[in-house]
Amino acid sequence: MEPFGMELPRFLQWTDRFVYERDVTPLSGWFAPWVTVTCYFVGLRILQWRMKDRKAMEFPRLLFLHNIVLSAASSVVFAFMAYILWMKHSIRGYGLREMICGVQMHEEGGSLKLAYYINYWFKYYELLDTILLVLRKKPVMFLHEYHHAATLVLTWSQLREHSTVQWMPIGINLFVHIVMYYYYAVSAVGIRVWWKKYLTTLQILQFVVDVVACSYAYAIFIANGMSYAACYGTQVGAVTGILILTSYLILFIQFYFRTYGKAPKRGAKQD
């Protein structure tokens, strides 16, 4: 019997065969994310030191290509995830609670886990964002470095801990990245957009929804005597997710008010 009680489209029959196994699937072990994050921070310090007395590099076409590829790739995975979630909701009849906490979200087929896994791979490639900033001698904020490194660890941990609620943060993040990397792509070739400020607002709303959803799932787990039957996943996954997402929310709110919260000085020219 097919996972959805019906014959699946051919491409889903293929993607549903995907199996994620701890310490077996490539990059699923402890070594890959933690060594990568360590090398990321050390490598950035070395690169910044090497670029200190060098001329900034400019490569608008490469920047455009890098960002438009990430925007397009995020669009594809987002659409794929949305289709799977629609099938679970409309065909299987799962409500929001079942989709956030139900073990079936983990056990039924491999398509959703494949989307999570591809998204996890994206986080390695996205580290290139920071390298390109350093090569152009642009300032690299703590928020930028922390967000890139922590998101790699977050996506890895949620896969390992089988967090059923992870589809929501991942789905919203993919949508935000469609918009964000499109903005970076057009900015790289000199096109200005009026909605830059609202991109940060969208990111803040993303983390509000993420924290609420993950806290809701963990509350159900605690309220039912820490029963995995009530909300599938692990305490490690839940606590890790809530802490990292909450830290994002705080840091992005601080960034918003530092960047947009100050009133312009009298007589100052505004864009």
What is the DSSP secondary structure assignment for residue 114, as one 8-state letter? H
- Burial class of residue 265, CB neighbours in 10 A (0-12, 13-18, 19+): exposed
162 is catalytic: no
> Helix crossing, 142-160 with 128-135: angle to 10°?
160
The two tokens of residue 254 are 């601080």
At residue 48, the 3 state secondary structure works out as: helix
Q: Are 91 and 6 in contact (CB under 8 A)?
A: yes
Identified catalytic residue from 66, 106, 144, 147:
147
- CA nearest neighbour of 196 among 176, 178, 180: 180
C-alpha gyration radius of the chain: 20
60/70 Cα distance (integer angstroms) = 15
Helices (H), 136-166: 142-160
- What element of type H or E holds 192? none
Task: Output phi, psi for 222, to 5 deg.
Answer: -70, -45
Q: Are 53 and 147 in contact (CB under 8 A)?
A: no
> Which residues are identified as catalytic?
147
